Structure 1
């Protein structure tokens, strides 16, 4: 056992972020890796037990982390996003949640062997999915927009609702069993929940007003939001336990729908904080489990309960609640299967285990084992199956990484057509119908609109695309596009054409943190590329083999050619950038903009002669 708390914090952070990196590197579910890492550090090797070692700080740390994570998730709940999906989302988070509560309580009583009191409390708790587990899965699976939005909204909204249902059921049970004969206690709980919503709305409105009127400087906006979130959660939670989750959700949704200009900066800051918190908190929770708890998981009643929740309760709740909605059978199947439980279920179950234990309910001793069994099983089952199932149902955008090209120039059109020939998903975006005409004529997918507009987020599904090339006539606009999309694509996947320091657009001293990576060799601007295309330059695709290596290719390629990119067998693309060192290996395909062939030049000469001859006749 490690005695130093500082060393424990270091190990928890390293394991959490290390798990996230391993999940990204090998395309595995991050939650599964974190759960295994926490179990190895805690009950398996006995290196730490955060719940015991942190003492009174353990629960406040977990609670505040959950509040920030839930607020960050609710910042994405813009009502514009669910246009056309309002009915199924509303049905799932109301009628579906109610059915999940009742069916879950029945399963807990008849299969897990819990008393009716404990069963109804835990049944309400187990309807939660939550942003801590559902959002990482959605990033991993690349679902199509409709099922992804429904799962996201359900996870974030039902998270506080499930915790409140559990508390509400507990208050009713205390009243019915005579532990609390005062009926005003139930009324107080309802009033506290209403107060939590009002408090969250007021905090969101207040912060939004202060930001819009300039009462908070830019450098203080994120710290102010962070502080208000903690205050909002703490005030509501001190009045009535678990209502703080409802309060921060209301605050996040309020801010999201005010459409504040600086909301994106706050959202990106909160995403980074949320990722760190999810990583560390999941390690802390799993490392705090005991070996006895793990052994108890294999009891046949617990196994039976988990299987029933997976294959009966969740699918039945979704199919009944979405009956006569416009969801397809495939969407119902996917949503009915995907329901991983996470941090909220573990933390609230731990709270009720102690409360019921003090009240004399002996069956409450298995609550933590029961909850962890459900959490771990759903995380593993759904984490490893969501990509496979979504592909089988045709609800996944999984495929080779695609490219978005901003700007519909002649060069962009030819490049996009080349990507299509390489089976690479490609889309050309431009605000000009005229420029998009040639792109559509080439049969390339287009998006008409301002790519920096807020509406783009709702009308353009960017899930299939991992690279973005800014190729418009304005260097400053290209830099702005790349800078804007850094959080979505990552700086290494954003490219723009060479900065051409023209009058009125001099970017020689541009800060290096602004814009994307500069494409192609020095001196090749958009004007130069368009000129090359007009003079007959063509995109050629060359296969690199063991016999014809990359060095040999470089020796043979024309000096005036522009090396564009390398397509790997995996589908990944490496672009030739100004300061890059891309090298092709056997089985790679090199794309280059090369001079026209000799035959093409002869044809051009004949055409030119014919034009000159016709001109001479007219003059004569």
Structure 2
């Protein structure tokens, strides 16, 4: 029996010594490929290291190129599989399929954590439902027909290809939307569709696979299999929610231990479900994620860096591993038909599904058209194809060896098409979110309201929030958009994110609130959070010591701004090209592209041609005090 041998044998190449009295009776065997041939320990180490390096390196390169990581991961994995014989999952693990299923479950759990029900109400919820329910059936039927017409495969293989290609996925849609930055409503619809359709597609793939296998064996079709799979997944999800509650609420595990407990719960529940019925663990994972994100009592942060790191690594490893299994000789015969299949999916099938799903809604033409231009295939399609095609090939099903290369080419084709065209298409359709800063000013003092008016004069879309009725009335009288009462609750809720707000300026009269909120809100905003500085003689307990970027520098603290405004000083908006009036202090620079850059304790960049300055003018002649003076609370 081939063995890996001891360390000395590996280093010297010598044969392992003959067993002695104290030696074990049987040496440790090497791992084996699917074909039964042995793999040396050196090959396992090299293959594992190379897979990790390629996965991480591809994602770093993609971030530098500002493209979705999939565009780099797939060709890198394919090339590594063609050029080496060590970057192959079946040579590194005895059975790669269960690991793929568990890894996808972790990805879907993370996606579920970002699905907040309050963000999807009214028409968008109906659109998502129609994209998933009739949309999946229409896409399946279209893919089945195209596959049967374009490829020389039997109907059973065409059915399998069709069910594999119905899925989209958050691992692809999310990065593409981050690159495009569409409007909030469009983003929510596409993210929800991608996250919910993956487990449904995985279940459909498992059902189709078992139907094909039972048909090959001369057995009948069980109609209850799909609903049984849903029941197992939902039951597993309920058990998983109980485990999460036990770990996060009863044991009060937080930080690293809380993240590890989540990871263990997801893996254990998904594995248990998959032991009962294939791919039911995907349903359980998405249910667990959505429950943790939406049920009261779970204190789930909006951002969890360790878990996000694990998910990103898993995504990279999966795509490198799966794409490495696609042999170049298997791609060449199906290349042209696969390109025609991609064209049919992108130009006909997806627009038709989006048109039907968004019919009779108040979505604009641009929103409806962009939804019809975003359906890339991702990790669930790849994992389903890799999982089931090998078994079907081993069972001798004609044409089953074409499932994986066809899926691989469709993934590459759809990702490339959407990645290269989504941004210009979104811009042409008018659904790109403005790159201009949209600040939220928290506070309703007179000087804060006038500051908001000045920022609006500088060309920014300003939003305000205040807690006191008098302050809210003052904001409304100034004609400034008043944020809903629950907005600040969402901002301070660690599970939520503020949609559409790209900067927060905390300017209330409570310095400790400003300081604490600057820390809590930071993870809920896609942009910086600033706070006005407390008075130098402030009795605040937290404000002098808490982090958060302080506005305007040490001289322009809150009470100084309020006193100068009360004495008649006003905010001025001037082009940077004009000379600054005497006695004025620069507070903000609004760049030509609409980005807001406040002056802080660290200073600020020099204004450039085309920028706009927001200044605080001096009090009128005869008023007591001077800009930058002190003052008491």
Cα pair 2:233 2:283 within 8 Å, conserved: yes
For residues 60-459 of structure 1, the aligned pairs below 5 Å read: 60-84=98-122, 85-175=124-214, 177-181=215-219, 187=224, 190-208=227-245, 211-214=248-251, 216=253, 220-264=257-301, 270-296=307-333, 298-299=335-336, 301-324=337-360, 327-449=363-485, 451-454=487-490
Aligned position for 2:589: 566
Distance in 2 of aligned mates of 1:356 and 1:244? 22
Distance in 2 of aligned mates of 1:444 and 1:321? 36
Distance in 1 of aligned mates of 2:465 and 2:241? 34
Cα pair 1:131 1:156 within 8 Å, conserved: yes
Cα pair 1:200 1:251 within 8 Å, conserved: yes
Change (3 A) 1:456 1:116: farther
Shift of 1:20: 5.0
SS in 1 for 2:441: strand
Cα pair 1:314 1:336 within 8 Å, conserved: yes
Shift of 1:518: 1.2
Shift of 1:4: 2.5
Shift of 1:129: 0.6
* Deviating more after overlay: 329-338 vs 3-12: 3-12
For residues 603-618 of structure 1, the aligned pairs below 5 Å read: none
Cα pair 1:431 1:448 within 8 Å, conserved: no
**Is 1:505 matched with 2:525?**
no
Aligned position for 1:601: 621
Cα pair 2:497 2:525 within 8 Å, conserved: no
Distance in 1 of aligned mates of 2:437 and 2:421? 21
Shift of 1:396: 3.1
Render the CA deviation track for 1:388-420: whole Å, top value 9, x for unaligned: 333333433233232221222223222222222
Change (3 A) 1:461 1:328: farther
Structure 1: gaps (5+ residues): 606-620
Distance in 1 of aligned mates of 2:479 and 2:522? 29
**Is 1:14 matched with 2:14?**
no
Shift of 1:53: 5.6
Distance in 2 of aligned mates of 1:42 and 1:423? 53
Aligned residues: 580
- Given candidates 526, 534, 547, the residue that maps to 2:566 is 534
Cα pair 2:46 2:86 within 8 Å, conserved: no
Distance in 2 of aligned mates of 1:476 and 1:30? 42
Cα pair 1:122 1:166 within 8 Å, conserved: no
Distance in 1 of aligned mates of 2:252 and 2:503? 38
Cα pair 2:534 2:544 within 8 Å, conserved: no
SS in 1 for 2:464: strand
Cα pair 1:436 1:448 within 8 Å, conserved: no
Shift of 1:475: 2.1
Render the CA deviation track for 1:414-442: whole Å, top value 9, x for unaligned: 22222222222221122234213333333
SS in 1 for 2:594: coil
Structure 2: gaps (5+ residues): 1-42, 625-633
SS in 2 for 1:601: coil
**Is 1:483 matched with 2:503?**
no
- RMSD (CA atoms): 3.4
Shift of 1:517: 0.9
Cα pair 1:413 1:442 within 8 Å, conserved: yes
Aligned position for 2:631: none
Structure in which a larger fraction of residues adopt helix: 1
Render the CA deviation track for 1:21-68: whole Å, top value 9, x for unaligned: 325xx4x4443344455556555x769734366343754554333211
Distance in 1 of aligned mates of 2:391 and 2:528? 51
Distance in 1 of aligned mates of 2:359 and 2:218? 40
Change (3 A) 1:486 1:461: closer
Distance in 1 of aligned mates of 2:377 and 2:116? 24
Shift of 1:326: 5.2
Aligned position for 1:516: 548
TM-score by length of 1: 0.83
Cα pair 1:50 1:58 within 8 Å, conserved: no
Distance in 1 of aligned mates of 2:451 and 2:84? 57
SS in 2 for 1:162: helix
Change (3 A) 1:302 1:5: closer
Distance in 2 of aligned mates of 1:57 and 1:533? 71
